[in-house]
Structure 1
Amino acid sequence: MKTLSYTVKANKFSVNPVKPLLHVGSGKRLSTDEIVMLEAKANYTEVSLISGSKLTVSTNLGVIEERLVDYENYIRPNRQFIVNLDFFEKINADYLFVKGREIKVSRRRKSEVKQQLQVLNQKP
């Protein structure tokens, strides 16, 4: 009789699954649910957190956007920002409002933003 052994990733079956972490450079890791928005600042990115604090990392916004591709709650309304839609308040013709901040939606990305918001609103 042979004994079979195998490994199971614990976070898939855990009662309290591990929250996804975003590596933002310099060994810093943030939980994806604590990030409100990210703003491009030349070759740096300013990360606004739910606590109200801001963190500047030496990773540009394009690299961080690639790391967030699997997270559907993040959207890039223009070249300068990535927004966590968990903190989205409202939208008008040209702006998203996130935690009291007005963020311009570019003409090129307007239909994508509206489509993603519709998908988000249809979820239970």
Structure 2
Amino acid sequence: MIPSNLRYHQEHEWVRAEGTQATVGISHFAQDALGDIVFIDLPKVGAKVTAGQQIGEVESTKTTSTIYTPVSGTIAKINADLKDHPEVVNSDPYGKGWMAVIDLTAPAEVDQLMTAAQYETFLSKQKH
């Protein structure tokens, strides 16, 4: 199930925009492909980020994957609970498994990301 109230990046990150802030996480597809997540390296609060830039890593029992930011801005908050409980991303990627909140410098970037329907089409092409 792909939440329709989010926007999606081609690297499988999602964005929930609320005013001038955006919450970022990885999609169900991404966490499922990674398998059991055992460690997450998150960005530092206050770090300036640019859309497409690496902001962290997710380690699973299978592999390590890069987390990219789909939007530009400043890291306002990180989900510190993931340090002790990274597996929350597997069980609740769109809720408690969020990774960072970004103060947006260019809110219009959110509109350039894929809608849920576009992401679903994108995923269907990935599987073939």
> TM-score normalised to the size of structure 1?
0.26
Could you say which structure has the greater relative contact order, defined with CA pairs below 8 angstroms and 6 or more residues apart?
A: 2
Which protein is bigger by CA-based radius of gyration? 1
